[in-house]
Amino acid sequence: MVGIDDQKDALLNTLNLLTNKSLVDRWHKKHHKEKLSFVHRIVSSLPLIIMAGDVGCGKTELANCIGSPLSKLLDKRIRTFETPSNIRGEGRVGDISNRITQAFDFVKMQLGKSDPGIFIIDEADDLATSREQNQAHHEDRAGLNVLLKQIDLLVREGYQITVILITNRLSVLDPAVIRRAAQIILFTRPDREQRGLIFKNIFHGLNLTTKDIEDLVFASEPQGEVPYTFSDLIQKTAKHCVYKAIQSDKPFSKKLYLQVLASVNPSPLIN
């Protein structure tokens, strides 16, 4: 994961606090004789993190790989689960609510109350859209209510499970979901500094000069109002470049990358 160190640190630190709440107690006793009135809010925060931002900026990939550094930090095994692709069901009455409940029950059964884990809900707009949206169907509203209840139950029932909601459109999530989040981590398209880190990583081992990296950063400047995403520069361009180099039996190079980049359009912005 290159160029999103701030988001990684925020996610890891929040997961650490939510999973290891004794850490807050120890810090509190060590540094403050008088009890700080708001500390109990941190300790009792619902185990919910929202990762929001533009498409192709590393949200899902980071969520799926954060278990390893968290495991090292806590010196515990961390298991990660994702909602099934058919979580919304087929539109029958009660279908989405039942599937949400079943998904949470499955994770709780797999982990029990002694083992920590992460439950990832990708494309969270599908389950947590605001109840005030004009197009919000009764079943969607019912599903949202069940989602909120299941997250609340994790605390009440004593499970060590943190839910990560991933969305490209934070603005459409229900306010009740946003209020419950212990942390909201925002992702944006890479700026000049981040693109420089991306290119240093992509071309590691090819001995590119500082000027070469600057050329790549300049070439990846937005052509209009839409910048490139992390995925555009790594998955679309670099991967295509490797395929093209293999097919033409030529080395991977800055020149070839720039040729491919010129044919790649930035991913469209999501409103």
pLDDT values of the chain reduced to their tens digit, one per residue, 271 residues: 677 889 999 999 999 988 887 777 788 778 887 677 676 666 666 899 999 998 888 899 999 999 999 999 999 999 999 987 766 655 554 578 888 899 999 999 999 988 999 999 988 877 766 556 545 566 667 788 889 999 999 989 989 999 999 998 888 888 888 988 989 999 999 999 999 999 999 999 898 999 999 999 999 998 778 899 999 999 899 999 999 999 999 999 999 999 999 999 999 887 6
Q: Are 125 and 173 in contact (CB under 8 A)?
A: yes
In 3D space, the residue among 210, 205, 141 whose CA is nearest the CA of residue 177 turns out to be 141
Domain with CATH 3.40.50.300 in the chain: 5-187
Record: fold of 5-187: Rossmann fold (3.40.50)
d(CA 126, CA 16): 28
Chain centroid offset of residue 269 CA: 18
Q: Which residues contact 122 (CB under 8 A, 6 or more apart)?
A: 60, 63, 82, 83, 166
Q: What is the pTM of this model?
A: 0.85
